[in-house]
Structure 1
Amino acid sequence: MMKKPSGPLLYIGQPHLQPVQPVMQEVVKAGAVEPAKTAKPDVEKTGPGSASGILKPFREMDTTEKVLYLAKRRIPVPCRFEWSDSSVRGTIEKFDEVHVWILDEESHEIVPVPIAEILHIRLAGT
């Protein structure tokens, strides 16, 4: 009878690698540093919120601020848009100073709505 081997029957050739020695961080000194300019840059208001960059809570924004906020998001946010004679659930496709074009989730049609007629914009799920 043959004697069974005591180790595993899987034979994989393992390479003999040398341990890796990491390159340590070097210390570098900078030359003379110019003093910082004391002039403050002109701050423009680029959307909803104050000039300091703090964004108002969504429920405190007016309709135009909500439209700007939702339209400039990278990922479309589904909302319920309500106006005097109808409402639609969808996302903003585009807008200008007068109209908002909303992609209806149910019909997949784009619905133009005058901004002045929008009564409420509610985030989906709220």
Structure 2
Amino acid sequence: MVTLALPSTPESVTRAVEAAEGLSVQIGLSEETTSRVGLAVAEAVANAIEHGNRGIESSEVRVHLAPEARVLHVTIQDEGHGVDSEQLREASLPDDPLQTGGRGLFLIRELSDRAEAAGTRLSLWFSDRS
């Protein structure tokens, strides 16, 4: 089990991704799953920094990584107002394919095997897909 307490900086995204991908490899998840873990964690931590903590560097993002057999459970928590489960469930791609934002929740949901939002906490599960 690994817990990171990170400032709201771009470098924190990299630290979280490296930790999550490293643990994914350590518990024997495939390269494809490890790639999904990395991208989803990058999106989730970037969202926590930008939308949750509003880019305030002193605001903390907590990343909790818990291996469960051949499943990696990732929890990201920020100090913002949170996302509700309906926002996560109904997230879709923007109508304009050239729009630079608005894909984060959609990608997070699609890349993970299971995703749950509860207030300021986002929980994701990853395992090898058959």
Instruction: Pick the structure with greater CA Rg.
Output: 1
Q: Which has the higher contact order (CA 8 A, sep 6+)?
A: 2
Please give the range of the TM-score, normalised by the shorter of the 2 chains: under 0.3
| TM value normalised by structure 2 | 0.21
Is the helix fraction higher in 1 or 2? 2
